[in-house]
Amino acid sequence: MKKLSTTGRAWLKGFHIVCTCAWVGAGVCMFLLNFVARPDNSHDLYVVMAALTIIDEWAVIPAAVGSLLTGLLISLLTPWGFFKWRWVAVKWGLTIAMTLFGIFYLSPWLHEMAAITVADPVGALQNKTFQSNRLLLSLSSGPMFLSMLFLVFISVIKPWSTRVKRRHAARAAALHEVPESPPSVDGNRRRGHGQLGAPSAQIGDGGDGVPGWQPGGVQPQIGGDHQRAA
């Protein structure tokens, strides 16, 4: 399949980040409403349940679908692919698992609680189904939130790049020396400048996501994106 241009990729990545930020942000709001807002009367309960339902329907679900779709487009239309990189494969697995869990468990629990609140605002807090759903939601929101943070961090750090390690080892063997790191252009904030385990491509990349630095070769440019796939 034809791959996107650099500008197209930047736009797509921008949309991907917007969707994922919306998902994480909406998740934080729901987490806070669940744990911090503890309504003790029917009116407050009604308001909290209405807010939770609106956030779920208008933010969490669209943002989760958006993250999945933009993730799909990134995998299809850029050299990152689906399973070339372990961190991308992990993102696939975890995102699908979280989306399914949200659709089949979290949302139905929440909507059942909202229905109970509408039907019996005064007795809802004492209702057994309401109480057990509330407990289940509270128990799941921590792992969901941690999974989202995990996804964000593996996206930024891009770990477990065994393929790159293998190629670096092969290159080092071919050159009969261990390549030293080229100078860092941003104070070594990021891994990846010729370092073992560098997750993605740089200038001079041969199209396979492996940093293209060689002794005497092209060095990274200041301001360049050294974390991109080819």
Instruction: Tell which residue, 150, 64, 58, 140, has the closest CA to residue 99.
Output: 64
Asked whether position 193 contacts ligand HEM by CB under 6 A, the answer is: no
Do residues 212 and 202 make contact, with C-beta atoms less than 8 angstroms apart?
Answer: yes
Distance CA 63, CA 59 (A): 6
Does 92 interact with ligand HEM (rule: CB under 6 A)?
yes
Q: Which of 208, 211, 206 is nearest to 226 (CA)?
A: 211
Among 52, 110, 125, 151, binds ligand HEM (CB under 6 A): 151
Q: Do 3 and 79 contact (CB within 8 A), yes or no?
A: yes
Q: Are 62 and 126 in contact (CB under 8 A)?
A: no
Q: Considering the rule CB under 6 A, would residue 67 count as an interface residue with ligand HEM?
A: yes
Q: Is 9 in the site for ligand HEM (CB under 6 A)?
A: yes
d(CA 170, CA 187): 27
Nearest distance in Å: CB 145, ligand HEM: 10
Decide if residue 145 touches ligand HEM (CB under 6 A).
Answer: no
DSSP track, 113-178: HHHHHHH-TTTGGG-HHHHHHHHHHHHHHHHHHHHHHHHHHHHHH----HHHHHHHHHHHHHHTSP
Nearest residue to ligand HEM by CB is: 71
Q: Select from 37, 156, 172, 218 the one that contacts ligand HEM (CB under 6 A).
A: 156
Choose the binding region for ligand HEM from 91-99, 125-133, 173-181, 186-194 (rule: CB under 6 A): 91-99
What's the closest the beta carbon of residue 66 comes to ligand HEM, in angstroms? 10
Select the span of 72-80, 127-135, 189-197, 216-224 touching ligand HEM (CB under 6 A): 72-80
* Host H or E run for residue 34: helix 6-35
Both structure tokens of 151: 């996804």
Q: Is 23 in the site for ligand HEM (CB under 6 A)?
A: yes
Candidates 67-75, 122-130, 133-141, 177-185; binding stretch for ligand HEM (CB under 6 A): 67-75
Q: Is residue 94 within 8 Å of 158, Cβ to Cβ?
A: no
Residues 6+ apart with CB under 8 A from 194: 179, 180, 181, 182, 211, 213
Interface residue with ligand HEM among 55, 60, 148, 198 (CB under 6 A) is: 148
State in angstroms the smallest separation of the CB of 198 from ligand HEM.
Answer: 14
Establish if 91 lies at the interface with ligand HEM (CB under 6 A).
Answer: yes
**Least CB distance from residue 91 to ligand HEM, whole Å?**
4
Q: Which residues bind ligand HEM (CB under 6 A)?
A: 9, 13, 16-17, 20, 23-24, 67-68, 71, 74-75, 78, 80, 88, 91-92, 95, 148, 151-152, 155-156, 227-228
